[in-house]
Amino acid sequence: MTKITTALVLSTACLSKVAAFAPPLLQSKQPSSLQLSSSPLDTANKPTELPDSLSDAASIAANACHQLFLTGGPMTRCRVDFDTSIGDETYTTLKSSTEFMQQFVSSLSLACVDGAREQKQQQVMKLVEAKAELREVQEQMDEAAAFSGDDEEVFKESSEQSDLIDKLTQREEELMHIITNDGADPATDSWEGAKVRIYFPDEGSAALARRDWKSEVPSCVEFSSCGGVQVADTSKDAVILFFCPRASEAEFVEEILYKMEEMRGDQLMLTVMVNPLLVDMGVTGFGMAGRRLRERLIDGLVPAYYLRTLQWGALTRVWPQLFTVWQEDENESSGYRLIKAMDRLPSNPEVEDIYDIENGEMSAPSDGFGLLNALGDFVNGMTRL
């Protein structure tokens, strides 16, 4: 009975880990209004709520991208912007959004790639069994190590105990290997299906991900870098993600995007750019070159998810809902109060004006924010991209 109880407890804990990777539609919780809709477009005029946590944000972003694919079909292009730095430049954008990216990629892979969820569940069960067996093995090792005696009969039994300890030690190492890899075994869990590929800005970042992300993302995820010699087999790529692509990688991003769309056709479900910074004064400029790049590569990206924290609140959006501006408010149960909903991304000056108007520090313009639109568009082009 004790062994069964232990296994059930471990199973519950580990299965919750799979649920954490799953998009909201795939988790067993009370469905939101978005999930109950027959079509995501039914929520187009509804304000976007703030996520409960980083993990929740990653799941919501993955679900939005998946819904975009289901609505728009193959070769959908979209973008995800996630910035919780509040202007703190201690870490690079790539570094500060790594944890979000890991969970976002995991959720998106489980939603989009056939067989990924089933393999993850199998790995979780292996992990449950390994933890339960490890406890038994360690108990047996403790009992064997406590055996002692002086006569000849005891000596023979002691020799047998020594052999048993050797076998238990070997099994302990095998179980620890399974647990360390979260139930995954690289030797036997090779992936043969569709793949999700992440392009990092440079080979150094991609190499670190190959080392550190393997236990964090499904087996269908592979890692590449922008530039350099491309030797990876991309013939099974179904989802492509560009993680924090910079202006210096814009040419490569564009080349890979067109190449993969031509090669994979309808087998390419999604292209997602996460925190793209593809226009920069020092590299592409904001003149004709920057404008053409924006028209070819950036303007066609659907903003699937947006979350930016502010000194006094946050700005967010989930496709196809409205952009919303939130202010911290200790009187609200969530800690935030909705102060504005818009059908487009407001510029930085507009966001500050929304805050000032809400708090009585300036009067609302008679024609809304019409007078600020031209300035807002210019500022977006100069700073956001």
| pLDDT tens profile 204-260 | 999 999 988 887 888 889 999 988 778 888 999 999 999 999 888 888 898 999 999
pLDDT exceeds cutoff 60 at 385? no
Residue 182's φ and ψ, nearest 5 degrees, are: 55, 40
Of 107-116, 171-180, 194-203, 317-326, the range with the lowest mean pLDDT is 171-180
d(CA 202, CA 379): 29
Taking alpha carbons only, the member of 256, 246, 254 closest to residue 282 is: 246
- Residue 200 in contact with residue 243, Cβ under 8 Å? yes
At 76 the three-state DSSP class reads: strand
- Residue 316 in contact with residue 60, Cβ under 8 Å? no
pLDDT digits (tens, 9 = 90+) for 98-107: 999 999 999 9
Number of neighbouring beta carbons within 10 Å of residue 319: 23
- Residue 282 in contact with residue 5, Cβ under 8 Å? no
Query: What integer is the mean pLDDT of 91-104?
Result: 90
pTM above 0.85, yes or no: no
- Residue 51 in contact with residue 80, Cβ under 8 Å? no
Query: What integer is the mean pLDDT of 170-183?
Result: 80
d(CA 110, CA 104): 10
The Cα angle at residue 92 between residues 109 and 22, in degrees rounded to 5? 20
- Residue 222 in contact with residue 197, Cβ under 8 Å? yes
Taking alpha carbons only, the member of 13, 232, 236, 20 closest to residue 114 is: 236
Confidence of residue 302 (pLDDT cuts 50, 70, 90): very high
Number of neighbouring beta carbons within 10 Å of residue 183: 24
d(CA 335, CA 345): 23
Tell me which H or E stretch contains 240. strand 237-243
Confidence of residue 188 (pLDDT cuts 50, 70, 90): low
29 vs 364: which has the higher pLDDT: 364
Helical packing angle, 54-72 and 98-112, nearest 10°:
40
Task: Transcribe 212-227 into DSSP letters.
Answer: HSTTTS-TTEEEEESS
At 358 the three-state DSSP class reads: helix
b/e for 7-34, b at 16 or more Cβ within 10 A? beebbeebbeebebbbbbebbeeeeeeb
d(CA 338, CA 213): 36
